[in-house]
Structure 1
Amino acid sequence: MTDSIPDDADIVVRSDAGLRIGTAPDSWGVWFPDDPKQVPWQRFLDEVVEAGYTWIELGPYGYLPTDPHQLEDELGSRGLRLSGGTVFTGFHKSDDEWQRAWDQAVKVAGLASQLGAEHIVVIPDLWRSDATSEVLEARTLSDEQWAKLAAGHDRLGKALLEEYGVRQQFHSHADSHVGTTREVLRFLDETDPRYTNLCLDTGHFAYYGGDNLKLIEERPDRIGYLHLKQVDTSLLFDVLKNDVPFAEAVSQGIMIEPPHGVPDLGPIIEAVAAIDPDIFAIVEQDMYGCDVDTPFPIASRTRQHIFSCTHFARQH
Structure 2
Amino acid sequence: MSEGGIKLGIAPINWCNDDMPELGSDISLDQCLSEMQEAGYSATELGHKFPTEADILKPLLGNYKLALASTWYSTYFVEKHNHAEQLAKLECKLKFLFEMGTHVINLAECSGTVHNKKNSPLSSRPTFDDAGWDRLVDGLNKVGKLCRRYGIRAAFHHHMGTGVQTAEEIDRLLSQTEMETVFLCADTGHMQFSGFDPYPVFEKHMDRIAHIHLKDLRENVFKEMLSTDASFLNSILEGIFTVPGDGMIDFTPIFNLINESGYKGWMIVEAEQDPSNFNPLHYAKKARRYIRETANL
TM more than 0.5: yes
The counterpart of 2:42, out of the listed 48, 54, 62, is 54
Aligned-pair distance for 1:189? 1.1
Question: In 2 relative to 1, CA 101–51 (structure 1 residues): closer, same or farther, beyond 3 Å?
Answer: farther
Q: Given residue 144 of structure 2, which amino acid in structure 1 is its aligned partner?
A: G
- Structure 2 contact 105–154 (Cα < 8 Å) conserved: yes
Are residue 119 (structure 1) and residue 104 (structure 2) matched? yes
The counterpart of 1:204, out of the listed 165, 171, 190, is 190
The counterpart of 1:109, out of the listed 68, 74, 94, is 94
SS of the residue corresponding to residue 160 of structure 1 reads helix
RMSD in angstroms over aligned alpha carbons? 2.4
Q: Structure 1: which 5+ runs fail to align?
A: 1-12
Q: State how 1:62-211 maps to structure 2 within 5 Å.
A: 63-96=49-82, 99-100=85-86, 102-103=88-89, 105-125=90-110, 127-134=113-120, 139-162=126-149, 164-211=150-197
- Structure 2 contact 6–267 (Cα < 8 Å) conserved: yes
Are residue 225 (structure 1) and residue 211 (structure 2) matched? yes
- Measure, in 2, the Cα distance between the counterparts of 1:123 and 1:14: 29
- Measure, in 2, the Cα distance between the counterparts of 1:129 and 1:206: 16
Aligned-pair distance for 1:111? 1.8
The counterpart of 2:31, out of the listed 40, 43, 46, is 43
- Structure 2 contact 23–275 (Cα < 8 Å) conserved: no
SS of the residue corresponding to residue 49 of structure 1 reads helix
- Structure 1 contact 150–190 (Cα < 8 Å) conserved: yes
Aligned-pair distance for 1:34? 6.5
Shifted more, 295-304 versus 274-283: the winner is 274-283
SS of the residue corresponding to residue 71 of structure 2 reads strand
- Measure, in 2, the Cα distance between the counterparts of 1:28 and 1:141: 33
Deviation per residue, 1:18-51 (Å, 9 max, x gap): 6211111112232159758432222211111111
Are residue 271 (structure 1) and residue 257 (structure 2) matched? yes
Aligned-pair distance for 1:152? 0.9
Deviation per residue, 1:140-181 (Å, 9 max, x gap): 11111111111111111111211x221110010111111111
Ranked by relative contact order (alpha carbons within 8 Å, sequence separation 6 or more), the top structure is 1
Deviation per residue, 1:176-213 (Å, 9 max, x gap): 11111111111111111112111000000111122221
Question: In 2 relative to 1, CA 33–87 (structure 1 residues): closer, same or farther, beyond 3 Å?
Answer: farther
After TM superposition, the score normalised by the length of structure 1 is 0.85
- Structure 1 contact 203–262 (Cα < 8 Å) conserved: no
Are residue 243 (structure 1) and residue 219 (structure 2) matched? no
- Measure, in 2, the Cα distance between the counterparts of 1:36 and 1:269: 31
The counterpart of 1:255, out of the listed 241, 260, 272, is 241
Question: In 2 relative to 1, CA 285–102 (structure 1 residues): closer, same or farther, beyond 3 Å?
Answer: farther
Q: How many residues align?
A: 294
- Structure 1 contact 91–98 (Cα < 8 Å) conserved: no
- Structure 1 contact 193–222 (Cα < 8 Å) conserved: yes
Question: In 2 relative to 1, CA 135–231 (structure 1 residues): closer, same or farther, beyond 3 Å?
Answer: closer
Q: Given residue 284 of structure 1, which amino acid in structure 2 is its aligned partner?
A: E
- Structure 2 contact 243–269 (Cα < 8 Å) conserved: no
- Structure 1 contact 127–135 (Cα < 8 Å) conserved: no
Aligned-pair distance for 1:139? 2.6
Deviation per residue, 1:123-154 (Å, 9 max, x gap): 22153151443479763111111111111111
SS of the residue corresponding to residue 219 of structure 1 reads helix
Q: Given residue 36 of structure 2, which amino acid in structure 1 is its aligned partner?
A: V
- Measure, in 2, the Cα distance between the counterparts of 1:300 and 1:191: 38
- Measure, in 1, the Cα distance between the counterparts of 2:125 and 2:60: 43
- Structure 2 contact 118–232 (Cα < 8 Å) conserved: no
- Structure 2 contact 106–157 (Cα < 8 Å) conserved: yes
Aligned-pair distance for 1:244? 0.3
- Measure, in 1, the Cα distance between the counterparts of 2:22 and 2:125: 29
